[in-house]
């Protein structure tokens, strides 16, 4: 299976929603503590190596990336300097970034593009806020400030254009409606920091949370007193969780235990696959919308892997 080495530590990987052979990768130097960053745009070749088609250097680490759902050449990056940067792959590197949104007062840790209305995106920051943006405005549309600590992740609901969730170090996940003045629901989901959240792509009331407590919990927001499933199997903090775009009950996660895990939360033995190809913290993982079962991961070992579920990511 193809692998690509990045000069810095990998932080995030995302498949293009337009092209099955393109992925974006966010990286940061010195484990994101101090130094530069780089956004890589990579191309998969059939039965061949991964090639780099563009790279954008930044003065600070890049912690997350997402693709525009409206324009196939636009990529959004979350930066350690508190900015959100917009890149256009159709322009030469010297013309990029085409825009830098500068409002957050601390590192931006997560970005997510609206898949329903396709006109806006969210940024989650260590300044405890989430901000709503549109590509064509320099100023944010709105700031959501209720969390008491860093917001690590945010995710739009896959069916409702105005609803999103945010995961925070204050041990809560909050549900928001951009038409309402404050959050509409607070999930006290874990007793330790929550690093990631994602919505089920087939049931818009199901959400997963991933925590420093090593667990993933699956919730139904219609009755959130008790999780409908608790997934244990990681040995350290779970850094990211993503629901499958193809199977309603499947999800993938990555962890500081250096593994990537596949789960089916509807069956008793929920852990259906474990991959231990990384030799450092595994911090970025994604599933292709266009190719069923195609996975990508990146980590602090400076490697990006792309493989089919059930195969060995390290197999030549």
User: pLDDT for 83-101, tens place per residue?
Assistant: 999 999 999 999 999 999 9
Global model pTM greater than 0.85: yes
Q: Which CATH number do you get for residue 137?
A: 2.130.10.10
User: What pLDDT does residue 188 have?
Assistant: 96
- Asked if residue 186 has pLDDT above 80, the reply is yes
pLDDT at 19: 98
Length of the chain measured in residues = 316
Average pLDDT over residues 8-36: 94
Structural domain contains residue 316: no
The yes-or-no verdict on residue 38 having pLDDT over 90 is yes
pLDDT band at residue 207 using 50, 70 and 90 as cut-offs: very high
Per-chain mean pLDDT for the chain: 97
- pLDDT tens figures, 46-59: 888 999 999 999 99
Closest CA to 153 of 110, 112, 205: 110
Confidence band, pLDDT 50/70/90 cuts, at residue 195: very high
Q: What is the per-residue pLDDT for 29? A: 95
Backbone φ and ψ of 169, nearest 5°: -70, -5
Give a yes or no: residue 39 inside a domain: yes
What is the domain range of residue 66? 1-306
What local confidence, expressed as pLDDT, does residue 215 receive? 98
What pLDDT shows up at residue 31? 78
Residue 220, token pair as written in the block? 């139904």
How confident is the model at residue 206, as a pLDDT? 98
In a domain, 22, yes or no: yes
> Does residue 311 belong to any structural domain of this protein?
no
Considering the domain boundaries, does residue 9 fall inside one?
Answer: yes
Q: Is the pLDDT of residue 199 over 80?
A: yes
Mean of pLDDT values over 67-81 = 98
- What was the pLDDT predicted at 144? 98
Is residue 313 one of the residues assigned to a domain? no
| Tally of structural domains, the chain | 1
Question: Is the pLDDT at 1 greater than 80, yes or no?
Answer: no
Judge whether 76 lies within some domain.
yes
pLDDT of 32 above 80: no
In sign, the C-alpha dihedral spanning 218, 219, 225, 228 is negative
SS (H, E, C) the chain: CCEEECCCEEEEEEECCCCCCEEEEEEEHHHHCCCCEEEEEEEECCCCCEEEEEEEEECCCEEEEEECCCCCCEEEEEECCCEEEEEECCCCHHHCCCEEEECCCCCEEEEEECCCCCCEEEEEECCCCEEEEECCCCCCCEEECCCCCCEEEEEECCCCCCEEEEEECCCCEEEEECCCCCCCEEECCCCCCEEEEEECCCCCCEEEEEECCCEEEEEECCCCCCCCEEEECCCCCEEEEEECCCCCCEEEEEECCCCEEEEECCCCCCEEEEECCCCCCEEEEEECCCCCCEEEEEECCCEEEEEECCCCCCCC
Over 80: is that where the pLDDT of 213 sits? yes
| Rounded mean pLDDT, 290-312 | 97
């Amino acid at each position: 299976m193809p692998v690509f080495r990045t000069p810095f530590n990998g932080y995030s990987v995302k498949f293009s929603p337009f092209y099955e052979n393109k992925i974006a990768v966010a990286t940061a130097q010195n484990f994101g503590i101090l130094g530069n960053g780089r956004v890589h745009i990579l191309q998969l070749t059939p039965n061949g190596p991964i090639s780099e088609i563009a790279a954008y250097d930044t003065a600070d680490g890049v912690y997350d990336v997402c693709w525009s759902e409206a324009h196939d050449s636009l990529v959004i990056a979350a930066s350690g300097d508190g900015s959100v940067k917009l890149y256009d792959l159709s322009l030469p590197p010297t013309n990029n970034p085409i825009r830098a949104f500068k409002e957050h007062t601390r590192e931006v840790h997560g970005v997510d593009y609206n898949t329903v209305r396709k006109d806006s995106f969210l940024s989650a920051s260590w300044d405890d806020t989430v901000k709503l943006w549109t590509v064509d405005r320099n100023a944010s549309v709105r700031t959501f400030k209720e969390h008491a600590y860093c917001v690590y992740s945010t995710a739009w609901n896959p069916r409702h254009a105005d609803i999103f969730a945010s995961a925070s170090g204050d041990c809560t996940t909050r549900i928001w409606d951009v038409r309402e003045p404050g959050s509409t629901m607070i999930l006290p989901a874990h007793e330790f920091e929550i690093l990631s959240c994602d919505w089920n792509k087939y049931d818009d009331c199901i959400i997963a949370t991933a925590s420093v407590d090593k667990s993933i919990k699956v919730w139904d927001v219609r009755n959130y007193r008790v999780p409908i499933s608790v997934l244990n199997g990681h040995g350290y903090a779970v850094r990211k969780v993503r629901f499958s775009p193809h199977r309603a009950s499947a999800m993938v996660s990555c962890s500081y235990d250096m593994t990537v895990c596949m789960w089916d939360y509807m069956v008793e033995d929920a852990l259906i696959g474990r991959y231990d190809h990384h030799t450092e913290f595994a911090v970025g993982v994604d599933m292709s919308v266009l190719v069923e079962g195609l996975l990508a991961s990146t980590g602090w070992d400076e490697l990006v892997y792309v493989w089919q579920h059930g195969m060995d990511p390290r197999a030549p």
